[in-house]
């Protein structure tokens, strides 16, 4: 197993739009929270997804997701998304992410998200930008 890089935590709040009639977060919205945390990780490390698409015709793509649910988040909960990243190859990484209730650290959801970097024209894997690869060498 390769060493993991710990990202800064991502914080968000549960709003009405995230919930059902009873104020419980829809299961699919946890995917959004995880995605936002991954996107914020790239932004904080000066790795622009729009630059990758427009300048190099490259994209970060989700290859697989495995989620486990433990507890429900509800309306007005403050959430913490923690992320650790393991570089599997120069073009593939796994994000180990957890959603916690920020008030009491209750584990709500845990996921493993495999992300690859590809050339959009060929659809084939391509090495991640050097800025991302350097993070794992520190």
Rounded to whole angstroms, the Cα distance separating 53 from 43 reads 14
Rounded to whole angstroms, the Cα distance separating 14 from 28 reads 13
What pLDDT is attached to residue 137?
Answer: 78
Go through the domains of the chain in sequence order and give each one's CATH number: 4-135 (3.10.129.10)
76-134 tens-digit pLDDT:
999 999 999 999 999 999 999 999 999 999 999 999 999 999 999 999 999 998 888 88
The sign of the torsion formed by the CA atoms of 39, 42, 45, 50 equals negative
The answer to whether residue 20 is catalytic is: yes
8-46 tens-digit pLDDT:
999 999 999 999 999 999 999 999 999 999 999 999 988
Question: Which of 20, 51, 78, 121 does the annotation list as catalytic?
Answer: 20
User: Any idea what DSSP says for residue 101?
Assistant: E
């Amino acid at each position: 197993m390769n060493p993991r890089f710990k990202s800064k935590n991502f914080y968000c709040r549960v709003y009405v739009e995230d919930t059902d009639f009873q104020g419980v977060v829809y299961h699919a919205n946890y995917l959004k929270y995880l995605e936002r945390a991954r996107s914020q990780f790239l932004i904080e490390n000066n790795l622009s997804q729009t630059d990758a698409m427009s300048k190099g015709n490259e994209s970060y793509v989700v290859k697989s997701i495995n989620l486990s649910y433990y507890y429900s988040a509800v309306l007005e909960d403050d959430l913490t998304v923690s992320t650790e990243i393991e570089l599997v190859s120069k073009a593939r990484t796994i994000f180990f992410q957890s959603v916690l209730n920020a008030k009491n650290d209750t584990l709500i959801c845990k996921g493993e998200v495999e992300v690859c970097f590809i050339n959009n024209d060929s659809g084939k894997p391509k090495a991640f930008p050097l800025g991302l690869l350097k993070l794992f060498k520190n």
